[in-house]
Amino acid sequence: MKRNIIIAGFFLSSIFPLAQQYGGMWIPTEVNEKEMKELGMKISAKDIWDTTKPSIKDAVVQFNGGCTAEIISPKGLLLTNHHCGYGQIQKHSSVKNDYLADGFWAKNNGEELPNAGVTVDFIADIKDVTPQILGNTKNLEAKQAEDVIKNNIETVTKSFKIEPYQKVVIKPMYYGNKYYAYIIDTYKDVRLVGAPPSSIGKFGSDTDNWVFPRHTGDFSLFRIYADKNNKPAEYSKDNVPYRPKHFLPVSIKDKKEGDFTFVFGFPGRTTEYLPSIAVEKIMNETDPAMIDVRDVALKTLDEKMRTDQATKIKYASKYASVANYWKKWIGEVEGLKKSNAVGKKQKYEQALIAKNPAIKTTIDEFNRLYTAQAPYALSRAYYTEVVRNAEALTLANNYYNFINAVESGRMDAKTLESFKNRMNSFYKDYDGELDAKVTAKVLALYANRVPAQYLPAGFEKFKDVNQNLKTVEEWSKNSVITGRGSLNGATAYSDLNKVFADQKALVQNLKKDPLMQLFTSMREAYMKNTDPKYNEYQSQIDALQKKYMAQQMETDRDRKFFPDANSTLRVTYGKVAGSNPKDALYYGYQTHLSGVMEKYIPGDYEFDVPQKLIDLYNKKDYGIYKNSTGDVPVNFTATNHTTGGNSGSPALDANGNLIGLNFDRQWEGTMSDINYDPKFSRNIMVDTKYILFIIDKFANAKWLIDEMKVVK
């Protein structure tokens, strides 16, 4: 019965009848081969995952612990997003060689640039170790079971025979109802090969972020290097390009709506199996609170960034990162409302209860726990965001840890050095005067929005923004932690070493610093009034969520469940598709170079276009990279269920050829982390034709194209 409700709901709202019902991010050893084939896949599950012979998984890696990347040549050429390689591109940039602004293209292997610390992880094997982890915990109560599980994880991790370059990571699935072991090969010599200028790789920047129609060439190229035996090795000039077991052929065939596609990568975190009450709290309370704080911070930063170039440069990366999730949460809240996520979940709960009345107790208990936790969750959301966005408080937080380390005797030379380095790079991109404004404003928000019982005594005095602006500027101007005030005649900017030379004097100074005192009172109030209660409820919620997950799986037998994303390798599949996000508004599935030119604003920091690209456009010099419309396709959308971490993931066709590079989702569908809905949820990819067009025609890096296997 419930199943009918859900299917009817999905089919009524779906624009094409073959839409998969639930989306899903599948463990590659357990993909739904039948449904994938029904949707059009021509290869088999074994071609995707096989440990006995080369398979597609051998070409997919986790890039530097966060994004995904894929191998596209027999010489270890690696494709990922521009925004994933951004840090590396930035590190190699200087005023003279500004690779962020102008792009970078190695002309041969010798010109490829090493990146200390950057790693790529291959998943060599996946083992279900549930019996070993949970076997002896059946009759234990929750707290005891937790300890036994911890022990088991340690023992099982050690039980694998691995190579020196391998590691074993055991991850819970389905909220701890299952456990999987991942055997991981880590390669450590990863070199930068190519990147387009930001005016291509980050075209549209924050304005277009999370938005379709999109026109971003969000890609960069790296190469994996190995030792002479093709094994992982630290960087050495004697290392050679890695020879992969498998690499992805690159298809430049035209795409059409309805084409089968799948995405293979490392999605970070989703929460698809929450009870309705949890979704309601996110939608109505915690998301809006976090959005509120960031609203204030971003507006204040933007005012100065627009008029002052130095500030623009200092804050570009921080602004982008704060704005990224700010914008995502706004989309998420709207999407949850629009897709009636709470209503759908409530119906689902009722249907589950009808089949298994015991679930009523679970739902009631969730309602009780989430309702009781709500004020603490809200207070926590504000606290975290206030400390993150008011940089004076972020700094104070760091110095708070510094004081603790000094006073407890944990501050050795190495810790001090790394602390100073961290602070030094923070100050480089810090504007104390601007931050004093941000801090003043978010403090007022904090004082006004959070009930007094969670705040330090006397905090009402921060309710008045205008007063705060004066007070905080005064404090900031004289503070050592902002780098504006001095100690022993030195500031963090003039001589950081001197500031830290006498640790005792520094600690004494810090303790008298009003910003430090403010932060300390906020932190102490938070640790006393919010944190313990929040955690107490959260651990009960976690235990209940584990039970509810098991109940959903036992009761809803027809549904194929996938575990929520947890940064492990997954396969998701769907169809190339446009969408109808609003009444009478239809987004086509594909954008083109002509659309880049429509958005072109000369000199603009988001929508400028490089002259060379304009020339190619004017001459229509598109080579083999145009499609049947005579234009070069730039981005396209599909119904693949993706999330943060899927950036850089390969989008493959029915034959396992690369057709796109995943980098974003469409705003109207970002609630997919909580409630995937095939009507609104679309992943956005860079078309392989655009990638090859930029490499070949724009960068003249034909030698890279020659390495690839191009499918025409």
Q: Which residues are catalytic?
A: 83, 218, 647
Dihedral in degrees, nearest 10, Cα atoms 143, 148, 154, 160: -140
Q: Are 645 and 263 in contact (CB under 8 A)?
A: no
Contact footprint for ligand ARG (CB under 6 A): 83, 205-206, 209-210, 320, 324, 644, 647, 664
266 vs 462, beta carbon nearer ligand ASP:
266
Closest CB 219 distance from ligand ARG, rounded Å = 13
Verify binding: residue 82, ligand ASP, rule CB under 6 A.
Answer: no
The whole-angstrom separation of Cα 636 and Cα 659 is 10
Q: Are 234 and 189 in contact (CB under 8 A)?
A: yes
Closest CB 642 distance from ligand ASP, rounded Å = 5
Contact partner, 259, from ligand ARG, ligand ASP, none, Cβ < 5-8 Å per class? none
- CA–CA–CA angle 117, 120, 126 (5° rounding): 135
Contact partner, 209, from ligand ARG, ligand ASP, none, Cβ < 5-8 Å per class? ligand ARG
Residues 6+ apart with CB under 8 A from 308: none
State which amino acid sits at residue 132: Q
Verify binding: residue 509, ligand ASP, rule CB under 6 A.
Answer: no
Verify binding: residue 681, ligand ASP, rule CB under 6 A.
Answer: no
Structure tokens at 133: 């982890």
Contact partner, 210, from ligand ARG, ligand ASP, none, Cβ < 5-8 Å per class? ligand ARG
476 vs 647, beta carbon nearer ligand ASP:
647
431 vs 673, beta carbon nearer ligand ASP:
673
Structure tokens at 618: 């004017």
545 vs 670, beta carbon nearer ligand ASP:
670
213 prior amide bond cis, ω within 30: yes
Contact partner, 645, from ligand ARG, ligand ASP, none, Cβ < 5-8 Å per class? ligand ASP
Verify binding: residue 646, ligand ASP, rule CB under 6 A.
Answer: yes
Verify binding: residue 220, ligand ASP, rule CB under 6 A.
Answer: no
397 vs 640, beta carbon nearer ligand ASP:
640
Q: Which of 701, 706, 696, 704 is CA-nearest to residue 624? A: 696
Q: Are 568 and 183 in contact (CB under 8 A)?
A: no
Residue 310, SS3? helix
Kindly tell me which residue out of 647, 657, 666, 675 binds ligand ASP, with binding defined by CB under 6 A: 647
Verify binding: residue 201, ligand ASP, rule CB under 6 A.
Answer: no
Kindly tell me which residue out of 176, 645, 656, 660 binds ligand ASP, with binding defined by CB under 6 A: 645
What kind and span of H or E run contains 587?
A: strand 585-587
Contact partner, 205, from ligand ARG, ligand ASP, none, Cβ < 5-8 Å per class? ligand ARG
Closest CB 646 distance from ligand ARG, rounded Å = 9
Verify binding: residue 9, ligand ASP, rule CB under 6 A.
Answer: no
Residue nearest to ligand ASP (CB): 647
Q: Among all chains, which residue has been given the structure tokens 């992969």?
A: 244
Contact partner, 185, from ligand ARG, ligand ASP, none, Cβ < 5-8 Å per class? none
Closest CB 65 distance from ligand ASP, rounded Å = 12
Closest CB 644 distance from ligand ASP, rounded Å = 4
Contact partner, 646, from ligand ASP, ligand ARG, none, Cβ < 5-8 Å per class? ligand ASP
177 vs 567, beta carbon nearer ligand ARG:
567
What is the Cα 537 distance to its own chain's centre? 27
Phi, psi values for residue 78, rounded to 5°: -120, 130
The whole-angstrom separation of Cα 117 and Cα 418 is 16
Contact partner, 523, from ligand ARG, ligand ASP, none, Cβ < 5-8 Å per class? none
Kindly indicate which of the ranges 30-38, 112-120, 164-172, 643-651 contains the residues binding ligand ASP, using the contact rule CB under 6 A. 643-651
Closest CB 610 distance from ligand ASP, rounded Å = 23
66 vs 375, beta carbon nearer ligand ASP:
66
Q: Are 380 and 530 in contact (CB under 8 A)?
A: yes
What does the H/E/C string look like for 50-108? CCCCCCHHHHEEEECCCEEEEECCCCCEEEECHHHHHHHHHHCCCCCCCHHHHCEECCC
| Helix, strand, coil percentages for the chain (3-state, nearest 5) | 50, 15, 35
Residues 315-374 contacting ligand ASP, CB under 6 A: none
Q: What is the DSSP string of 208-243?
A: HTT-SS------EEEEEEE-TTS---S--TT-EE--
380 vs 682, beta carbon nearer ligand ASP:
682
Per DSSP, what are the bridge partners of residue 191?
114, 223
Contact partner, 339, from ligand ASP, ligand ARG, none, Cβ < 5-8 Å per class? none
Kindly tell me which residue out of 261, 373, 642, 675 binds ligand ASP, with binding defined by CB under 6 A: 642
Contact partner, 643, from ligand ASP, ligand ARG, none, Cβ < 5-8 Å per class? ligand ASP
Contact partner, 642, from ligand ASP, ligand ARG, none, Cβ < 5-8 Å per class? ligand ASP
Q: What is the DSSP string of 362-407?
A: HHHHHHHHHHHHHHHHHHHHHHHHHHHHSHHHHHHHHHHHHHHHHH
Q: Is 537 left (phi over 0), alpha (psi -120 to 50) or beta?
A: alpha
Using CB under 6 A as the criterion, what x/- string covers residues 595-634 for binding ligand ASP?
----------------------------------------
Q: Which of 652, 708, 643 is CA-nearest to residue 682? A: 643
Residues 656-675 contacting ligand ASP, CB under 6 A: 663-665
- CA distances in angstroms from 385 to 62, 291, 326, 373, 439, listed in the order given: 28, 9, 11, 18, 11
Kindly tell me which residue out of 335, 485, 633, 644 binds ligand ASP, with binding defined by CB under 6 A: 644
Dihedral in degrees, nearest 10, Cα atoms 624, 629, 634, 638: -120
- CA–CA–CA angle 31, 36, 41 (5° rounding): 120
213 vs 645, beta carbon nearer ligand ASP:
645
Count, residues near ligand ASP per rule CB under 6 A: 9
Using CB under 6 A as the criterion, what x/- string covers residues 144-163 for binding ligand ASP?
--------------------
Q: Are 646 and 265 in contact (CB under 8 A)?
A: yes
Closest CB 259 distance from ligand ARG, rounded Å = 23
26 vs 663, beta carbon nearer ligand ASP:
663
Task: List residues binding ligand ASP (CB under 6 A).
Answer: 642-647, 663-665
